Structure 1
Amino acid sequence: MTSSFLRNAFALSALALIPATTAALAEADADNYAAIGEFMDVFQKVRSDYVDKVDDEKLIRGAISGMLSSLDPHSNYLDESEFQNLTIKLEGSYGGLGLSVTMDEGAVKIIAPIEDTPGYRAGLKSGDYITYINGELIYDISLDEAVAKMRGPAGTPIKLTIVRPGRDKPFDVDLVREKIDLKPVKWEVKDGVGVININEFSANTGADVKEAVRGITRALGRKPAGYVLDLRSNPGGILGEAVSVSGVFLDGGEVVSDRGRNKTDIRRYNADRLDDTGGAPVIVLIDGGSASASEIVAGALQDHHRALIMGERSFGKGSVQTVIPISEQTGIKLTTSRYYTPSGRSIQEGGIKPDVRVPQVSDPDYKLRQPVRESDLRRHLRNEAKASDPTLEEDLKADPRFAMTAEQLKAKGITDFQLFYAVQTIGRLGKVPVSGVKATEALKKASAK
């Protein structure tokens, strides 16, 4: 009875979608009816013959989840707990380790640890694999299941077994979960330069960056020599906050556009006509963990020649996910469009290439690391421009300017070379006042000294 009822319900729903005057579409949908019929035959066979009794709702949800996961790495079904976790994450508060992770051939792979979280302080790095959690093998499970195992009440212990490419043996890391109550924006002053660190684009990030600009001026008693906007290992977040942050440094203009399936389906997002920094020199730091909203900001400031982009090529997530509620407790996350920078570049797959590539040579493992990027994920969306392998392999070329070792830098008290180099570059401008595009041109010349 159930099979017959569901088969008829699917067929009636499909019939309602067929344009009566379009024979080709009707023929195509007829093929879909056959496929739906096949699905219902399998559904009924599992219900009647599987070794254990199964729950109909579980089967249907599994089918929906499989359909979405076949599309791309970022489209998925959200059950009650996952729907709630997404809301919690966007609000910036949850119990866990502060790791941004993905699935790679059934294994859990770290994209980046979020700064000032248990995972970051334990020295976990992009490209590390998590193979066991508390002695339990973690393999061939869903990403949401893996994340759920890592999250938990603050104060509870957890042991991760890590496989790091380049090392002979796995090693264990003991951590204690914390309430990840992200302060998305932190700032400090280094050698007269304002350093603004954004960990994630959650609620009020744009307003917090504006306040950071004011706080730096108050702390110095004057305007700083320039700003370093640190977006390293920032996995992204809310689009509106990326637009707001870009507006802090731009005097109007387009920040980003997103384009859907149809060529005419374009939405453009513009910055407010107020540069809160007064055109001061700006360097944006990015790395392989800078994704999505981080890439929007970096791409906008790069295209407007408003900032010098420094560090390593970003992650390359240039797709837009729309969360569509299916019920009060469940929903789907569906990729609906792609992001483009103001000059029309797609962020997808290739990411943002820095104007000045600066490796993190203060990390003793940086030559062993294999940062995870969008192009490494299975079923990732292709970039229409087709970023070539040789282009991406340029990131691996050594630069003789950065031949020093981590030990040599540590002896000089330098533990974060990328940040050190950015601050030093702004310092090389001296006291000659430059602003806007001229400031960026001056920074590029200074970075080569």
Structure 2
Amino acid sequence: MIRKILVAAGTVALLSSTALVPVAANAAERKETYRLLDLFAEVFDKVRTEYVEPVNDEELIEAALNGMLSSLDPHSGYLNPKNSKDMDIQTRGEFGGLGLEVTMENGWVKVVSPIDDTPAFRAGLQPGDFLTHLDGEPVQGLSLTDAVDRMRGPPGTDIKVTIRRTGMEPFDVKLTRAVIKVQTVKGQAFGEIGYIRVSQFSATTETDLRRVLTQVRKEIGKPATGFVIDLRNNPGGLLDQAVAVSDDFLEQGEIVSTRSRRPEDTQRYNARSGDITDGLPLVVLINDGSASASEIVAGALQDHKRAVILGTRSFGKGSVQTLIPLPGHGSIRLTTARYYTPSGRSIQAVGIEPDIKVYPSKVEPIGGVERDRRSEASLRKALPNPNGTPSPDKEKDKDKDKDAKSTPTAKPDVKQDAKPDAKPETPPAPVKLGDPTQDYQLSRALDLLRGLSVYRPPAR
């Protein structure tokens, strides 16, 4: 009710109403809260009456709400009724747009992951790309919600995005908007090994997983020797679907726990008996585009030693967001908890370290230096790891800062003050995930499972 009044408030009187004051521990705290609310009301009134041009009360309140929530962490925010509806549609697996999972970093829109078989994916956009301009207009100064709104539009319409990518000159890409129908689970057989690709966790993912796995087993036509579960570039999704998918491969034990501000609100999710693969060997593929729900699955299977995790370190988003409806006024997306793997690990800003590190093109990074990676820890206002575990990226950043201070010519990768000199350059075609002739990580996973099928430990 308190949140509803705040959103609906269009007058100074409502903004300073006692209904908005939270329960305080003592009179001094209540007095300070009143003072701050009066300050907000005064600023609001000054803007309405003194700003050089007329302003819309509703837009001012929405901007204030967005500012308040986005100052907490990168994943909290206010969704007006339209954006709230779009979010609901997206979690059901069908929505309009370009097919990008994005976040905000240093004022730029940063690609977390392109969604398989969408305009952005087919155009070659890659995790870690910066979107600096939309139709020639800079994105700096926009909120993430505003930037996403500009990227959405009627199917069939075009938008020009300016891309800044490490090691390349800026370039423009023309994308045609489409209705994004996400097929979250796909599969195929490679000999006696099944390959299952999970691109995100929407409302039907676990059901689709069971259906696809059954189809792949029929395609194999004889007993399978193992399965590859591909979670690369999977930006996450619904917590309950991550739990259900993990449960499909576990017989017992904890899958994940969520711990919020109050200890009594801790929730634990446990596996039920039944493994849909009958205990066959599993290899799970991850990379730095694997975030949130996909990290829950990888962490659970890793801690229970149910699967070998192969690839590169994951994104490191170990927080839970709750969509809280505000009837008639949209909703807020609020970070309400951190999640922990069965062993008690928080992967917030740290990520899941693979059991076997394999880079996309070769075992060691080109030139002996790991490429710049994006991660939760690199986001502004990212929550710290509650266990005090330092982020490997932060440690690398410290080393880079030292190098930059000793190198006067060091410059930031993304220019902050002017539009890049963009060229209509076509980006390299993305590696086709799921094709062992191009996909080196998958090729290694298949070899590993073939090796496990050959080796059988002696009976004791």
- Whether TM-score is above 0.5 comes out as yes
1:430 aligned partner: 453
When structure 1 is superposed on structure 2, of 378-387 and 303-312 the one drifting more is 378-387
What is the distance in 1 between the residues matched to 2:12 and 2:98? 48
Give the CA deviation at 1:202.
Answer: 0.5
Alignment of 1:192-271 (within 5 A): 192-271=192-271
Kindly indicate whether residue 56 of structure 2 is the aligned counterpart of residue 51 of structure 1.
no
Alignment of 1:176-191 (within 5 A): 176-191=176-191
For residue 350 of structure 1, give the secondary structure of its aligned residue in structure 2: coil
1:375 aligned partner, one-letter code: A
Give the CA deviation at 1:33.
Answer: 0.9
Alignment of 1:301-380 (within 5 A): 301-361=301-361, 369-380=371-382
What is the distance in 2 between the residues matched to 1:328 and 1:145? 20
- 2:350 touches 2:391 (CA, 8 Å); kept in 1? no
Kindly indicate whether residue 181 of structure 2 is the aligned counterpart of residue 158 of structure 1.
no
1:134 aligned partner: 135
What is the distance in 1 between the residues matched to 2:393 and 2:374? 16
Change (3 A) 1:170 1:141: same
- 1:75 touches 1:334 (CA, 8 Å); kept in 2? yes
1:416 aligned partner: 439
Aligned residues: 413
For residue 187 of structure 2, give the secondary structure of its aligned residue in structure 1: strand
2:61 aligned partner: 60
For residue 52 of structure 1, give the secondary structure of its aligned residue in structure 2: coil
- 1:317 touches 1:374 (CA, 8 Å); kept in 2? yes
2:387 aligned partner, one-letter code: A
- 2:233 touches 2:289 (CA, 8 Å); kept in 1? yes
Change (3 A) 1:392 1:377: closer
For residue 53 of structure 2, give the secondary structure of its aligned residue in structure 1: coil
Change (3 A) 1:3 1:125: closer
Kindly indicate whether residue 276 of structure 2 is the aligned counterpart of residue 295 of structure 1.
no
Give the CA deviation at 1:317.
Answer: 0.8
What is the distance in 2 between the residues matched to 1:249 and 1:337? 25
1:108 aligned partner: 109
Kindly indicate whether residue 8 of structure 2 is the aligned counterpart of residue 6 of structure 1.
no
2:312 aligned partner, one-letter code: E
What is the distance in 1 between the residues matched to 2:155 and 2:362? 31
2:33 aligned partner: 32
What is the distance in 1 between the residues matched to 2:49 and 2:328? 31
Deviations 1:94-139 (A, max 9, x none): 1222111111111111111112222112221111111222222222
- 2:282 touches 2:306 (CA, 8 Å); kept in 1? yes
What is the distance in 2 between the residues matched to 1:5 and 1:100? 40
**Structure-1-length-normalised TM-score:** 0.86
What is the distance in 2 between the residues matched to 1:160 and 1:390? 31
Give the CA deviation at 1:347.
Answer: 2.0
**Structure-2-length-normalised TM-score:** 0.84
What is the distance in 1 between the residues matched to 2:204 and 2:19? 46
What is the distance in 2 between the residues matched to 1:62 and 1:376? 25
What is the distance in 1 between the residues matched to 2:396 and 2:13? 58
Give the CA deviation at 1:354.
Answer: 0.5
- 1:99 touches 1:119 (CA, 8 Å); kept in 2? yes
Give the CA deviation at 1:430.
Answer: 3.5
What is the distance in 1 between the residues matched to 2:395 and 2:50? 52
Deviations 1:403-423 (A, max 9, x none): xxx9xx99x983111111111
Give the CA deviation at 1:342.
Answer: 0.7
Give the CA deviation at 1:253.
Answer: 1.8
When structure 1 is superposed on structure 2, of 120-129 and 336-345 the one drifting more is 120-129
What is the distance in 1 between the residues matched to 2:15 and 2:241? 45
Deviations 1:273-306 (A, max 9, x none): 1011011000000000101110000000001000
- 1:111 touches 1:371 (CA, 8 Å); kept in 2? no
For residue 428 of structure 1, give the secondary structure of its aligned residue in structure 2: helix
What is the distance in 2 between the residues matched to 1:171 and 1:118? 17
Give the CA deviation at 1:140.
Answer: 1.9
Q: Which runs of 5+ in 2 are unaligned?
A: 1-9, 398-427
For residue 278 of structure 1, give the secondary structure of its aligned residue in structure 2: coil
1:93 aligned partner, one-letter code: E
Kindly indicate whether residue 387 of structure 2 is the aligned counterpart of residue 381 of structure 1.
no
What is the distance in 1 between the residues matched to 2:77 and 2:187? 35
